[in-house]
Structure 1
Amino acid sequence: MKNKLLAIAAAVILLAGVASPAQAAEPELHPDVEYAIDAVPGGIVVDETTVVWPALGMVLTAASDMSRSVGTCATGNYCAYAGPGRTGTKISFGICTVVSTSALASVGSIANARSSGSVQARSAAGTILGTAAAGTGVDVGAGTSTLRCNL
């Protein structure tokens, strides 16, 4: 009788969820990730947009609508590069304002990895040398001294 009572009590506790730890909501997987884990056995979900298959040496990264990285300029930032085509030494900024590029001897290109707005490369006199729309990069002429981030 004692064992029956313990079994019933344990079942009630489990059904009530008291014995289980609080669980965070499962993230919604990108449809391509869902397809891939069903189609190729052995995949390990890393996050909503990434699956790895260690035994195959394979990684799937689904395109995200939120992802706006431009080359090596991380999502949400805007960057200035010493060379054209987003090459060379880079400085990046995460606050949308007017910033100095004096940390670089010269600026050859800029990138805007934000989801909206634009970034302008400007000379000391305020002349716009190039503008990068959201999710793009552009080569700029010599003389860039500031970047102006526009919301």
Structure 2
Amino acid sequence: MKIEQAINQTKPFRNNRHRAMVNLIYTHNWMVDQLRAKIKPHGITMQQYNVLRVLRGAGEPISTSVIRERLLDKMADTSRMVHRLAQKGLVVRRECAHDKRLVDVSLSDEGYAMLDQLDILHTEMDRICEALTENEAAQLSELLDKLRSD
């Protein structure tokens, strides 16, 4: 479906860059909604899921500031999310050995189990992007990288 149809656009966009920007925002929200629906039954948010993935990828305890640097959503309150994940038993917080002001965070066994259950999202992400060939997906990724370059 064309973006104009999806948002019931009646006037033409100012230019193709404007159309691309609106299309990108709309598509981002659509993709997030698709993934959120799969995560919601597990009782965590997309941002919390991202924290869990960052921790698994780190492979060792890391500070909340390192987590924040690696998050997809830079507006997220990392300390609050880590606190909530700890309350759910999905992460473990420990005082940093070399800097008492910092807290090291790692996945708990329950956190690893949750991610194992949520690995179904890999299939869902593939399904969401199945309209693109591998080459088209690579090209799209390169264009998005280019868009963010300064």
TM-score band w.r.t. shorter chain: under 0.3
Point out the structure with max Rg over C-alpha: 1
TM-score (norm 1): 0.27
TM-score (norm 2): 0.27
Q: Normalized per residue, which structure has more helix? A: 2
